[in-house]
Amino acid sequence: NGGAPDAKNLRVKLVLLGDSGVGKSCIVLRFVRGQFDPTSKVTVGASFLSQTIALQDSTTVKFEIWDTAGQERYAALAPLYYRGAAVAVIVYDITSSESFTKAQYWVKELQKHGSPDIVMALVGNKADLQDSREVPAQDGIDYAEKNGMFFIETSAKTADNINQLFEEIAKRLP
Ligand code: GTP
Ligand code: MG
């Protein structure tokens, strides 16, 4: 394609998992459309969006993103979306310890039933709400390290670290 000799075009199935309200849909909306919706509605079932990014070596990565519904009533649907996914992004809200516990549940579920070579990222979202923080950054760092995951704190509201999240995932693809 006229790019660097090692340039490639990759297509990657990515699934977002995590408790309802942690900001999964807002992360996707920020990444795909550069927008934030303070009145974001709960996701029903799942929604699909895609976005392509270019890396420095002119490799392009097309993310095919399944944004799942975090409400408990949809939990049984999750395997439909994480099965065959190359990447799982597990999101919690830094102002909710309960959502961090739920994130750990998803990590275990993926370790048991996900693809064995799945790339997993742990994301602490709502990093703009420092005054209401319940989950120390170090807890996220430690848990991610123990489980061989990439860790980042983001804010879909301010856009902090949203593009970095997807760029770092792209770098870690096999
Ligand atoms: P489900 O679809 O039910 O699983 O929830 P979700 O994880 O998709 O949550 P959603 O993205 O709809 O966001 C829930 C609420 O959190 C909305 O009111 C958002 O505006 C708010 N929110 C999302 N991300 C952020 C953030 O980074 N900072 C702040 N302050 N609020 C956020
Ligand atoms: Mg949603």
Residue nearest to atom 13 of ligand 1 (CA): 23
Residues 6-41 have pLDDT tens digits of 678 999 999 999 999 999 999 999 999 999 999 999
| Sequence letter at residue 91 | V
- Both structure tokens of 76: 């049984």
Which regions of the chain are under pLDDT 50? 1-2
- Both structure tokens of 157: 């509201």
Assessment of whether the complete model's pTM goes beyond 0.80: yes
Q: What are the E-state strand segments in 20-168? A: 46-54, 60-68, 87-93, 119-125, 150-153
Q: Say if ligand 1 is within 6 A of residue 24 CB.
A: yes
Q: Say if ligand 1 is within 6 A of residue 40 CB.
A: yes
